Amino acid sequence: MSDYTDLTGTERSFGDAEAEQAVRQNDRQYVFHSWSAQGAIDPLPVAKGEGVRFWDYAGTEYLDFSSQLVNLNLGHQHPGLVQAIQEQAGRLATIQPAVANDVRGELAKRIVEHSFTGARSVFFTNGGADANEYAVRMARQHTGRQKVLARYRSYHGSTATAITMTGEPRRWANGVIDANVVHFEGPYAYRSAFHAESPEQETERALAHLERTIQFEGPETIAAIVLETVTGTNGVLVPPPGYLPGVRELCDRHGILLICDEVMVGFGRIGEWFAYQAFDVRPDLVTFAKGVNSGYVPIGGVVISEDIHRTFEQRPFPGGLTYSGHPLACATGVATFDIFEREGILERVRDLGSRVVEPRLAEMAAKHPSIGEYRGRGLFWALDLVKDRETREPLIPFNASGEAAAPFTAVVNACKAAGLWPFAAGNRLQIAPPLIISEADLVTGLDIIDAALDVADGYT
């Protein structure tokens, strides 16, 4: 029996050094990688994936607790998604956006039906960053204002306005591409910028800070506030009670639009179709990508309110993309809705999060001094690792790399050596497995993290 099939269709077995070398060779010779010094990386050659696992060429198995950049919500090779691509490719592989297409319309309809009251239509993009670009462009066109407010500790993508809105070091070397972006601090009670002593106080002070920012910038110049509903890569920061309704109230008071970036948390990650649905807030524009089809074919988009849609009823919207609403991507999006309903994904995520993950993390926090705080919801959690629980000094300094990051790297390596691929960011081990994960696999992964934290404890 073969272990995997190579790109020529040949059946291969794990441990075939020649096959592995060929993959490595082409990658190192010809592929230019994201966010990396090309000479300093040695990417893992992956032979195949199945469900919540993937394998390298040696046959080493990894339980995926990262969902491949928090993307692969339905896991590798989901039969329903593979079939949707095959069937759609047989019917109509591609068609330009200016025509009406059955599967594109069906996906837009399903998304609108599962969105906020007053949602009207969907503009499809190629991914998350351009969804944010287009949401901002719509907000500017609709309001006639230019500024956008975005938060520190955020990632919104790597294109022009999206990278400028990003509030963390990935922006630095790219400079300011969009001069009309202003940053502010969001709530993060564990490391409060506002010296708050309770979540309620954090909400109150974070909102007062936002209001001051609006006043200093001039409310009539601000088109939109853009925020990740639950901050993703920068720490799984769940908004404290009242914060998002408070932001909405400020938006309403000043004629500012609210854009929720749901690229990472939309489509089930915290157990809701969209994360804003858990926080009693109505956005004007919502951006999505990743989970809409588990990344099987690139797609993202913007959900648009009736009010904003109406602005472009008679006036042309100045923007578009060749691949907008690509049929192969839309077919997998429609299949995603069917699979979520058939497999009860949202209910599973809520159940596993509250019944399995949360109590287990509480148990770990009681025994590992390196856990400063654990936080999250559904199947999206972060362990904020510290050197000192009293002072809350992070396990490694902010933006550390190389030697300075060694304690955290050691924890990540301990996870990998035990067969778990974690989602590691800054000083945080983040937990984001595919949403189809079984309870047994979830517990296995948590056991591995528990054991790896002994390594972190050694640095406290």
Q: Tell me which residues touch ligand PLP (CB under 6 A).
A: 69, 127-129, 132, 155-157, 228, 232-233, 261, 263-264, 289, 300
Helices in 344-424 by DSSP H: which ranges? 345-351, 358-367, 406-417
Nearest CA to 328 among 73, 74, 93? 93
Nearer to ligand PLP, 155 or 276 (CB): 155
**Min separation Cβ 106 and ligand PLP, Å:** 22
Q: Is the dihedral of CA 263, 278, 211, 253 positive or negative?
A: positive
**Min separation Cβ 1 and ligand PLP, Å:** 36
The set of residues, in sequence order, having a beta carbon less than 8 Å from that of 262 and lying 6+ positions away, is 228, 229, 274, 275, 276, 286, 287, 288
Nearer to ligand PLP, 232 or 268 (CB): 232
**Could you give phi then psi for residue 152, rounded to 5 degrees?**
-65, 165
Nearer to ligand PLP, 287 or 370 (CB): 287
Q: Tokens representing 126?
A: 């190629």
**Min separation Cβ 136 and ligand PLP, Å:** 12
**Could you give phi then psi for residue 323, rounded to 5 degrees?**
-95, 10
Distance separating alpha carbons of residues 17 and 9, to the nearest angstrom: 18
**Min separation Cβ 100 and ligand PLP, Å:** 26
Distance separating alpha carbons of residues 183 and 166, to the nearest angstrom: 9
Distance separating alpha carbons of residues 297 and 332, to the nearest angstrom: 8
With CB atoms as reference, the residue minimizing the distance to ligand PLP is 128
Nearer to ligand PLP, 129 or 258 (CB): 129
**Min separation Cβ 139 and ligand PLP, Å:** 16
Distance separating alpha carbons of residues 444 and 86, to the nearest angstrom: 34
**Min separation Cβ 159 and ligand PLP, Å:** 7
Nearer to ligand PLP, 127 or 353 (CB): 127
Nearer to ligand PLP, 233 or 427 (CB): 233
| Interior/surface letters 65-75, b for 16+ CB within 10 angstroms, e for the rest | bbbbebbbbbb
**Min separation Cβ 126 and ligand PLP, Å:** 8
Paired strand residues for 147: 222
**Min separation Cβ 67 and ligand PLP, Å:** 11
Nearer to ligand PLP, 57 or 279 (CB): 279
Nearer to ligand PLP, 128 or 246 (CB): 128
Q: Tokens representing 452?
A: 């790896």
Number of helical (H) and strand (E) elements in the chain, helices listed first = 14, 18
